[in-house]
Amino acid sequence: MEQNVGSTDKLVRIVLGALSGVASLAILARSLSAPPILSLVLGIVAIAALGTAATGSCGLYSVLGVSTCPRDAAQ
């Protein structure tokens, strides 16, 4: 799959993924008061955000024809 996630977008995804993951684990450890289902949702968000940041490719961006990668803008 072609890269369509730029460096700023990657940074935002890494921060969002890390915060979501920490919140998910805090809910599981009962350090944060929230419904348990929220832990699952936040865990999925964390995996998706960190996965797309690591690969540099977002499936939703591909479907929508969006790219934040500056390499595509130069072509």
Residue 65 maps to a domain: yes
Domain count, the chain: 1
Residue 33 maps to a domain: yes
Residue 42 maps to a domain: yes
Residue 1 maps to a domain: no
Residue 19 maps to a domain: yes
Residue 31 maps to a domain: yes
Residue 72 has pLDDT above 80, yes or no: no
Cβ contacts of 13 within 8 Å, gap of 6 or more: 5, 49, 50, 52, 53
Report pLDDT digits (tens) over 14-69. Answer: 999 999 999 999 999 999 999 999 999 999 999 999 999 999 999 999 899 998 98
Domain membership of residue 38 as a residue range: 7-74
Q: How many CB atoms lie within 10 A of CB 49?
A: 22
pLDDT for residue 71: 61
